[in-house]
Every structure is written in C-alpha cells, then in structure tokens.
A and B are shown apart, each in its own frame.
Chain A
Amino acid sequence: MTGAVLLLAADPAQLLPARELMAFSLGTHILLVPFGVALPFVTLLMHYRALRGDDPVAMLLARRWSAVMAVQFAVGVVTGTVLSFEFGLLWPGLMGRWGDVFGLGFGVEAWAFFLEAVLISVYLYGWRRLRPWTHFALGVPLPFVALLGAFGILAANSWMNTPRGFRLDANGDPVGVDVRAAVFTPMFGPEYWHFVVGMFMTAGFVVAGVYATGMLRGRRDRYHRLGFTVPFTAAAVLTPVQLFLGDFIARSVFHQQAVKFAATELVWRTGTHVPEYIFGRLNPDGSVSGGIRIPQLDSVLAGFSPSTEVTGLTSVPAEDRPTTGQATLVHTAFDVMVLIGSVLMLLALWYAWARWRHRDPSRSRWFLRAAAGAGAACLIAVEAGWITTEVGRQPWIVYGYMRVSEAVTTTSAGTLWAVMGVVVLGYVALLAVFVAVLLRMRARWRLRDERTGVRQGARPAAGEAPEHAAPYGPRPRHLPGGRR
C-alpha cells in the first residue's frame, strides 16, 4: 500500500492527462481500424460474387460499400495523423531514445497507408472508367496492403511489449541495433494474427449487423439477405480460428510477460495449482473480491497441468508491476473479451448448424437479434483487447527498459487537460459527421431503391453513382448548381 502511494507521489503530474489523452485518441482510432483493415476484403468478396454471377444486387452492394470505405478511410487519416503527433507531443522520451530501434515499423505503415489511400481512390474511380475484371484486379492488392500496414503497427507495439534487437551501452542508450530482431520480437506473431483476425471478424460482423437490423425491421429482400450472408459467413468462419489464436496469445503472454499475465488472471503470489477468477476485483492485500473462483484452472490453462507454476504480481517490486486497480481493469477487460469471443463462437455454431441442415437461420428473430448485436460486441472486444495489452504493460512503455513516467513530456498537466478537451470536442464532431454522412447515404440509397425496385432484383435504371454520395469519392464533372 505504501509502495503504491510512493509510486503515485513520484509520478509527474502530467502523466495522468498524457495517458488519458493517448488512451482517448487511440481508443477512438482503433474503432475505425477494423474497417480500414478489413472492409476492402469484405467489399472485394461481394464484388467477386457480383462479377462471377453477373449479379446486379451484389454489384450494387459492393459499389456502395466502396463508398463507405472511402468515408471511413478519410476519418481514419485524421485520427491516425493526430496519433503520430502525439508520439512526439506526449512521449518525447520514448521516441528520442528508442525511435531508431523500433520506429521502422511505422515507416512501413505510413507507406502502406499511402498506397491504400491511392488504391482506394483508384477503386472508387474505377467503377465507371475501367473494364469490370481489370477494375476488380486493381482492387485485389487492397487487403494485402492493409495487412502490410497492420504489420508495421503491430511490429512496433509488440516491440514495446517484448523489446529486442539492441544492446545497452554504458549510458544506458541502445546500440548495435538489429532491425530484424527488433521487428520479429517474441510477441509479434501472436499479436499480429490475433489482431488481424479480430479486425476481419469485426468488419464482417458489423457490416452483417447492419443488414440483420434491416431484416429485423422487415426488409427481407434479396439485397439485405446478400448484404448479411457474405460478411457474416466470412466472420463466422474466422470465429473458431480467433478462439485458437486468442488462446495462443494468452499463453505467449504467460511465457514472455509473466507479470502482465499475472495481472490478466489476478495472480498475487507465485505458485502452482493457481485458481482462475472469472471477473472479480483485486484488493491491495492480494485477495480477490467477487467473481467466480475455479480452483486449479489457471494453472491448467497456462501449462495444461495443475502443477504448472504461475508467476504472481508480487514476484516483482510494487513499482515494477501494474497497480491493483490497473490489474482489475486488465482482468475485467480480458474476461469481457473472452466472454464475447465465446458467445460469438456459439453464434457461429448456430449459423453453421442451420446452414448444414439447409435451413435459413435468418428466419429466427433471435438469431437476427444476436447477429445484429455481434458487430457492437466485436467493437467492445477490440477495445477490451487493446486495454488488456496496453494497461497490462504498465508501468512500462518499453517493457523492462523504460517507464511511462520517464518518457512523458514536461508540459504542465493543465495544458494537457486543455488539449484533451479540444481533442475530445473535435473527435466527437468528427465521429458525429461520420455517422451522419453514413446515415444520409443510407437514406438516399433507400429512397432510390424504392423507386427502382433494385432490391427485389430488378435491373437498376440510370442514375447517380453510389460513390458520388461519398464526400470523398470521385466528383461529377459539373459543379452542383451548374454553369453560370
């Protein structure tokens, strides 16, 4: 207890606002990431189906999703640019000392992002200016470029968790940088695959959720069924994969970051036959209040045997581990993520069973309700997973080498809170626009489709192209309002 108080007293006053500001900006940005990474893939899936089956409804969906993709990407650029500023504005100590060891990943990401922006524009412009299969072929690199971007960011994040690829000289500065070792750190593989599959699942379930909601409201036309089935199937196939990958990353944390694992599972003292807690709160004396206690299970999960020794939080001094409050937060976030993953697994099994029996699962309103909620649940799981990995790393910014408090800016706490106020206002406005633009696009498309009957399968008549509805899509050749 006194250790924690001393720790708080030693922390500079600006640490809290700096962490909160970073958390807010990253926490917002990460909600957009699944779509930047995986919406191109979902769209191309639908596009392929449209081309193969000469299906005008699928084509219309793909084309509209490409417009949504462009709007989302533009918002993501703003929030992403702010993040790269914050590295310098909030954590100058991190970049100044370690920038040349782990910064390269960001370089890969920046170029991948650039390429993705250009390719999305090409894809959007291509609808009317390229031959169908040429256009599709130019879209195919998009998911790979998105994966490359994720590679860069995850390389940087996993390095912060398991830093490698350097030696320390007499002054404690990193020398002898080995780029390959710094990129492919022990946590890189587990983090990368868990993250990427999570992004694809989230994008799939969110997009499917939109059409599930439409079906719940009685719009059970072909347009909605197709818009639901393609992304939902993709996400459902990935769900069991993600369960396996989630288990893999948890065990990697157990081996590579023992103290973080202890916070995740609320293990106070190192020992064998460690119980598993489902939820619950860690008290400063090491006891756990609330939650469900399952004897032996944590040891079994970590090493497949009750006699597996699990390192506890108290194995390191109080100033080198998360506080009890942080441990409770990490544990709760982790359990929320696991819970959501398990429920989604049940949903995927329900879907698979119904499809296997040649039944239409969407005839069940309960299934549709669950499917509509799956997207939101995925977004919560993304946030929870991110909290687990970032708060679990505390108090280190470079695990074992640099504390967050050593990296923080010297700017006063008051200034940082004021900046945070502006950023929150700006982001709220930005997200409000994002949602408003999407809703407006939806309203226009619905109105148009009611006129044309395209959702029932009629060949659509001439009209405004979907991508023109996006504020960042190609422009019609004339100014609204016309010549004067």
Chain B
Amino acid sequence: MIADAVAWVLVLAVAAYACGGGADYGAGFWDLLAGGARRGDRPRALIDHAVAPVWEVNNVWLVFVLVVMWTGFPVMFQAVFSVLWLPLTLAAMGLVLRGAGFALRKPTRRLAERRLFGAAFAVASVLTPYFFGAAVGGVASGRVAPGGSASVSAWTNPTSVLTGLMTVAAAAFLGAVFLSGDARTYGTPDLVDYFRRRALVTLLALAVLAGIGIALTRDDAPYVHERLTGGPGLALVCVAGVCALAAAWLLVRGAPTQFTRAAAVGSVGAVVVAWGLAQRPYLLPTSLTVAEGAGARATMGWLVIVSLVAVVLVGPALVLLYRLESRGELEPDPVVSGDPEDSTGTER
C-alpha cells in the first residue's frame, strides 16, 4: 500500500521531468536543426533567451527520481544502474556537456567557438533524452532484472530504440510548443509560426512512432504492450491522444499560450502515467514487483511524508514564480531612481 504510493510518487516525478526537462531538451533539438550560423541565428537567439531561466530547476526532478529510486526501491535502483550502466553514464555525461556547452556559448562572441559550444549543447540535448528513453525501454520490455550485469541488448533492442526516438520526439514537440509561446512573449511573430510548424510536424512524427510501437512491442515487450492496449492503460493512452489532438488544434488556431502548453504537457504526462499503469504490479516487469522491491517500511512512510511536505512548500513558491515571470508590469526599480523608461531599450 505505502509502497504503491511511493511508486506513484516516482511515476509522477518521471512525468514532471519528462515534461519540464523535455521542453528544455527540445529547445536543444531545435537548436541543432536551426541550420547554418546565419539562417539559424534568430531561432538560436530565442532559444538562448528563453531556456536559461528554467532549465536548472528541471534537473532537480531528475535528482528526485534517483533519490526516490534508491531510498524507496534500492534493489531496483541497483539493477537499473548495473544493467543499463552505459546508457545512463552517457546520459550523465550528456548532462555535463549540455550544461557546459549552453553556458559557454552565451558569453562567447567568436563564431567558431560559438559553433563548438553550441554543437556540444545541441548534440547532448538530443543524445541525453535518447539514452533516458532507451533505458526506459529496457525496463519496460523486461530486460532489467535484479542481480543482472551490464548488458548491451538491454538498451539496443527494438523497444529501447523506439522509446528512445519517442522520447526525443516528445521533447522536440514540447520544445517547439514552449518556444512558440516564448516567441510570442518576446515579440517575434515570425518565430511563432516557425516553431508552430515544427510542433505540428513532430506531433505527426510521434503519431507515426506510436503506430510502429504498437506493432513492435507486441512480441518485444508483451507485458506492457498488453496493458497499454486494454484496460486503464488504454484509457490513459486515449487521454494522451486527445490532449495531443487538442494541442494540434490549439496550435493551428493560434490559441493563448497557456492552453496550448497545458494540452502538450498533458499528452506527454499521460503517456508516462500510462506506462506506470501498464507496469503494475511490477517495478521491473516481470521480475520484481513493487511489494518485493520496496525498501524498509519506516523509510517508505517518511518518504511519502517528505514528498507531501515538499509539495506543500514548493507548490506555492512555483505559483509565485510563475506569476512574477508572467507579470509584464514592473515596479519602479529600487536601484534606479528617476525615469523608469529604459535608456538602452532592453527592458520595459
């Protein structure tokens, strides 16, 4: 019972990382595909401008996923990190390169250096979600079991390749949706369309990948396949589909940013929750159930309490931040006396 609650905390944290982190990785994806230095200059400027304030917070979701895994389900944590050693190492290295590349590009003016650092940021932004997705595919297809040792086939199998590609596509979709909204906020209407088109194309790609996935996982990941094509799993997949369609419709209609973003986040989040539902009662299908893999009871109870307290504390802070961020009006600057009109024209 309490183990199930912790398992759901884990699933929700993964969903939060998929949505929050996904949008950041997606921005890197579009950075990679923005074209040459001249053609890609404006989209990249928007990406530089829009991504920075949020990405650091999103990494914390990932830390939380790891912490819940090792505290709540230590055997599963050990199995996942032993069997999927290489993809997870590559993902961690991708995180470093991404952070370094992104931060390095900003202060650099020379084109050759900007290209190098930008490439590190962009390539790492694509590879990191791919490896996370491939790791998820390894777990979902039952290739990770307690006591296993590092295995290549656990993340190069058909399901892993598919989930890896779907993770990248989902990130690209979220990234495009968020950047399209940012383009509106920062007053660059041509980029609104630019990213809107890309969001619709990636949504199409996601649909195609999902179609392939249904056929592919029938034999390759039978346990999860069965529960995603029937029962509550199917219901959530349908929710994801409806959200995706709604997002597409809102994009085409040019609806307000918040609604489009909510629909896009809803579709990706629903897929993650559907995966969690489909794995029940297993942590690692079909070798370790939630009940078997659960850590000490006392710890699980405290983990739930810590999570609840945190939600109570972090929730209002996040709402406040969002309100501050979206509030256009600025108070008079306490440092800057006199004319609030900005001389350099960079803020209003």
* Distance between Cα atoms of A179 and B55 in the complex (Å): 33
Does residue A216 face the partner (Cβ distance < 8 Å to B)?
Answer: no
Flag if A107 contacts B67 (CB, 8 Å).
yes
A residues near B62, Cβ cutoff 8 Å: 81, 84
Q: Choose one: A74, A87, A99; the contact of B56 (CB below 8 Å).
A: A74
Given A115-B314, A177-B298, A410-B150, CB of A464 within 8 Å of CB of B96: no
Interface size on B, as a range, is 35 or more
Does residue B336 face the partner (Cβ distance < 8 Å to A)?
Answer: yes
Given A130-B331, A409-B82, A465-B333, CB of A89 within 8 Å of CB of B310: no
Chief secondary structure at chain B's binding surface = helix
Does residue B233 face the partner (Cβ distance < 8 Å to A)?
Answer: no
Residues in B60-102 with C-beta less than 8 Å from chain A:
60, 62-64, 66-68, 70-72, 74-75, 77-82, 85, 88-89, 91-93, 95-97, 99-101
Flag if B45 contacts A430 (CB, 8 Å).
no
B residues near A484, Cβ cutoff 8 Å: 42, 188, 190
B residues near A481, Cβ cutoff 8 Å: 42, 45
Does residue B222 face the partner (Cβ distance < 8 Å to A)?
Answer: no
Does residue A154 face the partner (Cβ distance < 8 Å to B)?
Answer: no
Does residue B112 face the partner (Cβ distance < 8 Å to A)?
Answer: no
Residues in A436-481 with C-beta less than 8 Å from chain B:
436-437, 440, 459-466, 468, 471-481
B residues near A127, Cβ cutoff 8 Å: 333-335
Residues in A6-65 with C-beta less than 8 Å from chain B:
56, 59-60, 63
Q: Choose one: A74, A89, A108; the contact of B306 (CB below 8 Å).
A: A108
Flag if B60 contacts A411 (CB, 8 Å).
no
Flag if A477 contacts B187 (CB, 8 Å).
yes
Given A81-B59, A477-B185, CB of A433 within 8 Å of CB of B103: yes
Given A121-B57, A426-B96, A481-B45, CB of A132 within 8 Å of CB of B85: no
Flag if A78 contacts B96 (CB, 8 Å).
yes
Flag if B52 contacts A103 (CB, 8 Å).
no
Does residue B2 face the partner (Cβ distance < 8 Å to A)?
Answer: no
Flag if B85 contacts A426 (CB, 8 Å).
no
A residues near B345, Cβ cutoff 8 Å: 478
A residues near B100, Cβ cutoff 8 Å: 78, 426, 429-430, 433
B residues near A464, Cβ cutoff 8 Å: 342, 344, 346-347
Does residue A483 face the partner (Cβ distance < 8 Å to B)?
Answer: yes
Contact mask for chain B residues 299-338; partner A; CB cutoff 8 A; 1 contact, 0 none: 1101100110110011001101100110111110111111
Flag if A85 contacts B66 (CB, 8 Å).
yes
A residues near B295, Cβ cutoff 8 Å: 99-100, 103, 177
Flag if A82 contacts B342 (CB, 8 Å).
no
Flag if A411 contacts B150 (CB, 8 Å).
yes
Given A121-B321, A129-B330, CB of A480 within 8 Å of CB of B45: yes
Q: Choose one: A97, A114, A174, A479; the contact of B45 (CB below 8 Å).
A: A479
Q: How far is the CB of B187 from chain A (nearest CB, A)?
A: 6
B residues near A103, Cβ cutoff 8 Å: 67, 70-72, 74, 295, 299
* Distance between Cα atoms of A459 and B334 in the complex (Å): 11
Q: Choose one: B93, B97, B338, B347; the contact of A461 (CB below 8 Å).
A: B338
* Distance between Cα atoms of A358 and B300 in the complex (Å): 58
Residues in B273-309 with C-beta less than 8 Å from chain A:
295-300, 302-303, 306-307, 309
Residue of chain B at shortest CB distance from A145 = B313
* Distance between Cα atoms of A130 and B63 in the complex (Å): 31
Chief secondary structure at chain A's binding surface = helix
* Distance between Cα atoms of A60 and B339 in the complex (Å): 17
B residues near A480, Cβ cutoff 8 Å: 45, 49, 346
Flag if B186 contacts A179 (CB, 8 Å).
no
Flag if B186 contacts A477 (CB, 8 Å).
yes
Does residue A118 face the partner (Cβ distance < 8 Å to B)?
Answer: yes
Residues in A53-106 with C-beta less than 8 Å from chain B:
56, 59-60, 63, 73-75, 77-78, 80-82, 84-89, 92-93, 95-101, 103-104, 106
Flag if B324 contacts A130 (CB, 8 Å).
yes
B residues near A86, Cβ cutoff 8 Å: 92
A100, A108, A471 pick with most chain B CB within 10 angstroms: A100
Does residue B258 face the partner (Cβ distance < 8 Å to A)?
Answer: no
Given A96-B78, A127-B333, A427-B96, CB of A175 within 8 Å of CB of B313: no
Contact mask for chain A residues 414-427; partner B; CB cutoff 8 A; 1 contact, 0 none: 00000100110011
* Distance between Cα atoms of A419 and B338 in the complex (Å): 55
Does residue A122 face the partner (Cβ distance < 8 Å to B)?
Answer: yes
Q: How far is the CB of B139 from chain A (nearest CB, A)?
A: 14
* Distance between Cα atoms of A463 and B150 in the complex (Å): 56
Q: Choose one: B53, B88, B106, B185; the contact of A121 (CB below 8 Å).
A: B53
Does residue B340 face the partner (Cβ distance < 8 Å to A)?
Answer: yes
* Distance between Cα atoms of A119 and B347 in the complex (Å): 23
* Distance between Cα atoms of A433 and B345 in the complex (Å): 27
A residues near B95, Cβ cutoff 8 Å: 78, 81-82, 85
Flag if B338 contacts A462 (CB, 8 Å).
yes
Residue of chain B at shortest CB distance from A113 = B60
Residue of chain A at shortest CB distance from B62 = A81
Q: Choose one: A81, A174, A475; the contact of B53 (CB below 8 Å).
A: A475
Flag if B317 contacts A84 (CB, 8 Å).
no
Does residue A125 face the partner (Cβ distance < 8 Å to B)?
Answer: yes
Contact mask for chain A residues 128-143; partner B; CB cutoff 8 A; 1 contact, 0 none: 1111100000100000
15 pairs across A/B with beta carbons < 8 Å?
A: A81-B95, A85-B92, A95-B81, A99-B70, A104-B306, A110-B60, A114-B60, A121-B321, A459-B337, A465-B347, A473-B53, A478-B186, A478-B346, A479-B46, A479-B186
| In the A-B complex, the 7 residue pairs with the closest CB atoms | A100-B295, A96-B78, A103-B71, A99-B74, A88-B81, A177-B296, A111-B310
